[in-house]
Chains A and B, each alone.
Chain A
Amino acid sequence: MKKTKLGLILMLYASIACASLAVVYAFTKDSIERQSEIQLQSSLKDIFPQATTFELVEDLTSPEPNIKFETVYEVKSDNVPLGLAIKVSGPSYGGNATLLVGIDLHRSIAGVRIMALNDTPGLGMNASNPTYYVDKAKKVTFLGQFEGKFLTDPFEVKKDVAAITAATITSKSLTKIVKTAGDAAIAYMDQKVMMASMEGEKPAGETSIGASPAVSTGSPTGSPIGASTGTAKESAKPQAGGK
């Protein structure tokens, strides 16, 4: 009987705590959502300054099981496509990291921004530090080095990607997330361009795509993303197995 009483008292304390947490949650929920929405919108604008509209894309999913595409946007400026922006989350050193990866029609990364990262302050968190430079002479941040980088590059940390000092796992994980999003976006865009050309339409962004050698010659490095004849799903499969 006494034990039941103790249990009931404990339950009472727990319920009061839950109720007060629910109140605080309801109170701060809107503000938290607004903050992340503001952050997302400003990052999108930051990556694609000329963009006017961001259309949601539903049929692009991640080829990797542990990397998830939360939202995918087709970025347009007055109906002229500029590229894709993918909000993608994947595992990093301190749990899941969420990035916004922009891919332009030149088959390169337009920009990468961090939405959420829980790595070690002072080490892995330097990925989101705007004054932490992996290349001090040129003042390039860790994420800044991806800007303009072609997806045909190997994306290997310590080879073509400079790592954050003492945070190799963070560097590798974030690089992998960027690469996965980028490859999937390229495959998706290839598929769309193909479909558009089958319909006899000229995609508005064709001039810029044609400027990229990767389209005409397939993939110069033999990377599976160059298999532009297949559908997005087919080209995504060998990519997942190849890693």
Chain B
Amino acid sequence: MKKLYSVFKQGIIFDNPLLMLMIGLCSAIAVTTNVSNGIGMGMAMTFVLLFSEIIISLFRNLIPSMIRIPVFIIVIAAFTTIVDLMMKAYFPELSKSMGVFIPLIVVNCIIMGRVEAFASKQNLPSVIADALGMGLGYTWVLVGLAAIRELLGNGTFAGIQVMPASYEPILFFILPPGGFFVFSLFISFNIWLKNKMEASTRKKELVSKKEAA
């Protein structure tokens, strides 16, 4: 159980797909102009990641290593299409605002990377923990990015006006350059957080060693 928790935790800060592994950035910059898009994209992506990892992990001994990449792509593409169809059928408004980015989950490096590096070697429980952790790590960054960009660039939060009417939106933050700007601040914040957490665990180890001595 402890091992599963540590796998789950990895994706949120230490191995955050966007801030530490730095993969799948293009769609992250593109959709984070609006908080509801961020949440929708995060959920869709987590769903695809979870089910692709589960399938690959279950069949990992039945996939010859020579054709593993095409098999991964087939599995990921199938789940992405399922999400796309489901969203069109049951959440038409969300599907409309996400536009082309749902089909593009297929080529999101995070899924390919996690399937190749993790799911094809691990058993089911740790794979589920990894997918949920990575998905949550992806989603919180998207929502955070989107909240700041939407607030500064449009004066709204999830489409609701929060800034006073006199506030002139800074369009720069909605455009891709502003996205990179906010994104780099997130990276620095994450590195700071990581160092801080590592320092505190080291301190604890030192203390426990001293007590033992």
Contact = CB atoms under 8 A, between A and B. Distances in A.
Interface of A: 6, 9-10, 13-14, 17, 20-21, 24-25, 28, 31-32, 35, 39, 94-95, 116-123, 125, 128, 131, 165-166
Interface residues of B, number: 36
Interface string B161-196: 100000000010011000000000000000000000
Given A9-B64, A121-B33, 8 more contacts: A10-B74, A17-B78, A20-B82, A24-B85, A35-B89, A39-B92, A121-B34, A122-B154
Interface string B71-109: 100110110011001101110100011111100000000
B71 A32 contact: no
A6 B67 CA distance: 7
Contact of A6 (B66, B97, B99): B66
Given A21-B82, A123-B33, A165-B171, A32 B100 contact: no
A151 to B, nearest CB: 28
Nearest to B153: A122
A6 B89 CA distance: 36
B99 A125 contact: yes
B13 interface: no
B85 A166 contact: no
Contacts of A116: 96
A39 B96 CA distance: 12
A10 B97 contact: no
Nearest to B76: A17
Contacts of A32: 85, 88-89
Contact of B159 (A6, A13, A35, A131): A131
A25 B85 contact: yes
A17 B74 CA distance: 7
A31 B90 contact: yes
Majority DSSP secondary structure for residues of A touching B: helix
A120 B98 CA distance: 9
A121 B71 contact: no
B89 A28 contact: yes
Contact of A120 (B30, B71, B92, B96): B30
Interface in B11-48: 30-31, 33-34, 37
Given A17-B75, A122-B33, A123-B33, A117 B99 contact: yes
Contacts of B156: 131
Contact of B174 (A24, A25, A39, A123): A123
A21 B100 contact: no
A35 B81 contact: no
Contact of A24 (B66, B82, B154): B82
B100 to A, nearest CB: 5
Contacts of B174: 122-123, 166
Contact of B31 (A17, A20, A121): A121
Q: Which 10 A-B pairs have the closest CB atoms?
A: A122-B33, A31-B89, A28-B89, A17-B78, A118-B99, A28-B85, A118-B100, A35-B92, A32-B89, A17-B74
A40 B81 CA distance: 24
A100 to B, nearest CB: 14
A166 B89 contact: no
